[in-house]
Amino acid sequence: MTIARICIALAVILAPCSFSRQAASQAQQSKIGSADRLFQIGKFAEAGELYAQMAARDPKDYAAILGLGRVALLSNRLHDAQKWLEQAVALQPNDADAKVMLAEAFYRRDDFQKAAASLNGVEATSNKLIISQYPTLNVAKLESFKGQTPYQVQGAGEETRLKFLKIDPLPLVSVRVNGGDEVTFFIDTGGSEIALDTEFARELGVRQFGRCKARFPAANTLRFSMGGSNPSRSATGQYGICPL
């Protein structure tokens, strides 16, 4: 009888503990759902606050850590994005989304080697996140910059002035590349890379690393080639290398 009473008492004590853990887990899942919904409707700051609360409560909460990394990346807070996404990869090394977003953070910081390394194990040509949001993450292109710093401009002088040919709807300038004929470039602050006409890119000897497709605000989904310039010299004597 004594043993039976002990067992019953133990069961009574353990049941509330189990229920408490289950309730806490359900509350955490509810918060994740709320944060995800806020994120999906574009309320990133509010979503980030909920993710931060959950991460503070449980530093190993993968969904919260990943959410913080995603919000930081979309806010272009690249240092924070790298910190959270590295934690996410450490928690779940086989999850492709965290690796892809970490690669994008490195890419935006012009650290192409780390961006390429972050994509190790990710099938970039079929990954849905790369195709839909980060099509410029081409491993071969990133690796081609080994030992070189993209967008680093060298040459005499600290300043160059170009006259705008026109400014509506976008600023147009006339330039020469590697001493060639004058060509017209337009400046678009929303562009993530330099875009060249395919035939002109061939004339310049641009290295190509395959094709991808992306949707542009002013157009339908378009296919384009990925490439990287050889060191190119402008009419001002400045030169550098960049992804195309």
CATH number of residue 111's parent domain: 1.25.40.10
5 within some domain: no
Reported as a pLDDT band with limits 50, 70 and 90, residue 25 is low
State whether 38 and 99 are in the same domain: yes
What would the two tokens of residue 3 be?
């043993």
pLDDT top residue among 40 and 118:
118
State whether 191 and 84 are in the same domain: no
52 φ/ψ angles, rounded to the nearest 5 degrees: -65, -40
Last residue in a domain, options 105, 140, 175: 140
Q: Considering the chain, what is the average pLDDT of its residues?
A: 78
State whether 26 and 136 are in the same domain: yes
- What secondary structure letter does DSSP report for 230? P
- State the sign of the Cα–Cα–Cα–Cα dihedral 74, 80, 84, 90: positive
Reported as a pLDDT band with limits 50, 70 and 90, residue 46 is very high
d(CA 181, CA 175): 8
State whether 57 and 113 are in the same domain: yes
36 within some domain: yes
Look up the domain containing 30 and give its range.
Answer: 22-140
Is residue 23 predicted with pLDDT exceeding 50?
A: no
Reported as a pLDDT band with limits 50, 70 and 90, residue 7 is very low
Q: How many domains does the chain have?
A: 2
The string of pLDDT tens digits covering residues 200-220 is 878 877 777 666 665 555 555
Whether the Cβ atoms of residue 36 and residue 47 lie closer than 8 Å to each other:
yes
The SS3 of residue 212 is strand
State whether 173 and 103 are in the same domain: no
179 within some domain: yes
Sheet-wide strand order for 183-186: 164-166, 172-175, 183-186
State whether 28 and 123 are in the same domain: yes
State whether 123 and 181 are in the same domain: no
State whether 169 and 134 are in the same domain: no
Whether the Cβ atoms of residue 232 and residue 177 lie closer than 8 Å to each other:
yes
226 within some domain: yes
Whether the Cβ atoms of residue 85 and residue 98 lie closer than 8 Å to each other:
yes
State whether 129 and 205 are in the same domain: no
With CA atoms as reference, report the closest residue to 108 among 69, 134, 130: 134
